[in-house]
Amino acid sequence: MKKIMTLLWLSILSISIAAQDNDWSLMVLGMAQDAGYPQAGCKKSCCEAYWKGENPRQHATCLALLNKQSKEAWLFEATPDIKDQIHALDTLGYQLSGIFLTHAHIGHYAGLIHLGREVMGTKNIPVYAMPKMKSFLENNGPWSQLVSLNNIELKELKNEEALTLKGMAKVAPFLVPHRDEYSETVGYHIAGPNRTVLFIPDINKWETWDYKLANIVSQVDYALLDASFFADGELPGRDMSKIPHPFTTETMELLESLRKKEKSKVHFIHFNHTNPALFDSPERKQVLKKGFNVVKEGMIFEL
């Protein structure tokens, strides 16, 4: 399998540059964990800061792959904040052309409900999903109604098999270990004419993956990685081993030996509302001082 994964990276990295002008970019439309920021029911200082007007709202993690020539946009994740994220596309003159899903946790697919007849009433919006995710949507309401009413058209993805968009950009899913109650979980490798992006918003601890993160980071131009929690003890009274995301501190330690240029590829994303690095803080300053980055809403990666 590792050989297959290596061949996948190499095949996508070898994408031909057919035009001098680059028509592709990737925009960040959200950086928070599934529930966004602030989170419902949170009475801690982290979310109280929002209600006091001290911190801005942060939308749930979402990316948009943009084709500047055709004005088409493909979302990565259908979040509970999809109305704002589609509005952002509308404001920029882009038309929603499809949605890529990673897995069946609420922050990553629940926004599909806005495509139904009670809201947008869309027609055959392509929704790209892995086999278990596709079956989950087909066989469980209210999602199944989106299928039966042709609001969405499900497109089955295959592990490590790249899909080509508009003859140029390539998108390839790859399985990652996570809490798979209803579906498998994938990250995505996204390739434009000139640059490539690794997108892993959710994963268990890095050591449970079949690949060495440092090796994969070295093969891409940007790596957007799960930063749900900053460090152990962030959730007082809860056993954080039961929520097996990699701590931001663990990821930085794992990649500590990388050269400065390689570290700068890493952009943390998918911050829980409790993660102090979500906003300006000593913890965020620590991330930046170590040579890593934090995404911001509206940030654009040219591909």
Residue 110: per-residue pLDDT: 98
Residue 200's φ and ψ, nearest 5 degrees, are: -130, 90
* Residue 8 in domain: no
- For the chain, the average pLDDT equals 92
Residue 234: per-residue pLDDT: 81
* Residue 116 in domain: yes
Going by pLDDT thresholds of 50, 70 and 90, the confidence category of residue 236 is: confident
pTM of the model: 0.92
CATH of the domain at 187: 3.60.15.10
Distance CA 170, CA 132 (A): 22
* Residue 10 in domain: no
Residue 18: per-residue pLDDT: 40
177 has a pLDDT exceeding 70:
yes
Q: Give me 47's structure tokens.
A: 């979310």
Specify the higher pLDDT residue, 2 or 231.
231
Residue 40: per-residue pLDDT: 95
Residues 58, 37 contacting (CB under 8 angstroms): yes
* Residue 7 in domain: no
* Residue 167 in domain: yes
Query: For the segment 114-145, what is each residue's pLDDT rounded down to a tens digit?
Result: 999 999 999 999 999 999 999 999 999 999 99
In which residue are the tokens 């999602």 written? 143
Structural domain for 170, as ranges: 22-302
* Residue 13 in domain: no
Residues 101, 77 contacting (CB under 8 angstroms): yes
Vertex 27: Cα angle to 85 and 128 (nearest 5): 70
* Residue 248 in domain: yes
* Residue 226 in domain: yes
5 has a pLDDT exceeding 70:
no
The tally of domains found in the chain comes to 1
